[in-house]
Structure 1
Amino acid sequence: MHTATAGKADGLTIQAGLAQSDSFVVASCHICNNRNIKIMANGNNLTSCNSSILSSSAPSTSGTGISLNTNIREVVNNNDDVVNFLLETKFSRLNYDDKLFIVKLKPRPQMKNLIMKNKGSRGNRGFNNNWYDKYNWLTGSEKRNKLYCWSCLLFSETKQSPWTSGYDDLKHLSESLQKHGNSEQHTHASLKFKLFGKNNIQDSIDSAHVQSILKHNELVKENREIITRLIDMIIYLATQEQAFRGHNESRDSLNQGNFRELASLLSKYDNKFKVFLDESSVFTGLSKTIQNELIESINKVISEIIENEIKMSPFLSWQVDETTDINCRSQVSVIFRYVKEGKAVERFMGFFDASEGRTAADLFNLLIENFSKYDITNKLIGQTYDGASVMSGELNGLQSRVKQIAPQALFTHCYAHRRLQVLSYRGGVINHPIIDY
């Protein structure tokens, strides 16, 4: 009897992860060479019973006595049944190193118990080991007492063949061996067997894929740094209210426009940016299309920030005024005023095309279409326009229509327009210079 304390003692090694219940585990005994001994757990001490008595009740993957924790190299070193091990653990589940180790094996068991009894007075027919020399793919399992195809056992995708499930008909062995050797299934399996280990294609593909991902990520990082510079340039010009484009942006032009000239200036002090501008053939970021796309992207980000601020504010007011662009198209400018962190802030919401109609109804529909998402019915408490009847009319003007959906939205005449009217009036009635001393 062998005993074990704290997992290993007296030639006994505990196999972790094979406990069948709280009362026992599985161990390997290096003295009696029994790898499936049930160990009774008693506190911190583990006491084994006689291995010859308990080996019949030891847990295994089937009735053949191969432990789930058994390594293929242990099977070979102990002269165990390799074929039986593969039938239980499956070749496809092993790691690459174990697969490579197995492929190099050529198990040729004696198969002394594979006997076929003949009828009559003739003797019994047994397996002849010379079959191994004639068919080098032939192998067998003494524990299962059957013959197998070594290459099909490892690489065949079809498991219904008798040469993967086990063959024991010695009477028709010669005919069956010849037929299987010429089968398509065996040909494919043999080809995989011959090529396996020559070059680990999967490792090469994985390595190339990893390198490709790393290279791509590095390129993405560099491109993001370039885009950051372009965005900063756009924000700078917009903050300074400078025009982006020039009248002549060709390479020979003395002034290619603020955006291109600013990019040229930065490239003198930023080598990475200079290399990008000089060598990039697909995307340089200086075209008018890219400029407009970046401006739209920045506008989208800013709009999302403003939208979140408005949603957090309990009240808001707006100022709306009509103007025309350089093409004399009518458009409406909108400014929102609301409280953020206890302070009143103003946000320019943008210009909106009003060329399709400039009536009070048209302007009202335009505002509702663009700003109803801000819950103006409950939040809008103030509205400011100029003195035009379309905007400030108490009966049919824009302010009256807004009050129908937001009664708390008080109207205030724009003070800037009032000052302009005062100055215009004073300028019209004064016909002589005013001299101040």
Structure 2
Amino acid sequence: MNEVDHLLEHRFETLSLEEKLEVKRLGPHHPRDIGISQTAGKNIRAFNVEWFAKKKWLTASIQKKALFCFPCLLFGGSGGEVTWSRTGYKDLKHLSERITKHESSNSHLDNAMKLGIFGRVNVAVQIDSAYRRGINEHNRQVEENRYVLGQIITCIKLCGKCETALRGHNESADFLNPGIFRCIFETMCEGDARLQRHYDAQPVFKGTSSTTIQNKLLDCMYDVYRPTR
């Protein structure tokens, strides 16, 4: 998938995100037998594959017998740099100086940066995502608390309608007569997973601490009710 000939036929921009990420993961293809050579009189220059180790961005086309720049092949070249991204480079005599010139070009630097950050989530996006998750969790918890509070108020109102005491003399978990409020609330929990989860997690509904909560709720309910009289 990361071979030059494959990428020339299937342009990087047309690939799916998964395919693009796989191409990046594989990196530049370094074929060992590419047969790139150049004849000058009686001299024959052959490409030395050690260049691949020196320049990690370098890759080659087996079919074209030419050298390419991997980042520029993926993201495109401009001006005179299209040789490294489209047609391929073959002039071995001037290879060293042309490599130096290309890797200092704006086109190569831009494409190398694009490849480096491709697939990475922007830090600002991560922060924004974490912020939104925090807001969503806060809103969920507020909604949950409102629901539970509404059910507790319903219990208190029911006790008021029946003119029964909210509490018994002892509201410890093992006492046989804990009071009508706890009995009603625990009965409501049996068919309500949200309420049961909150009841199990919050000890304020049990023992002497529940008395404080009930008194505070009664005071709040009275403050709301009193102005309407």
Structure number with greater CO (CA < 8 Å, separation at least 6) is 2
Q: Point out the structure with the larger helix share.
A: 2
Structure with the higher strand share, 1 or 2: 1
Structure with bigger gyration radius = 1
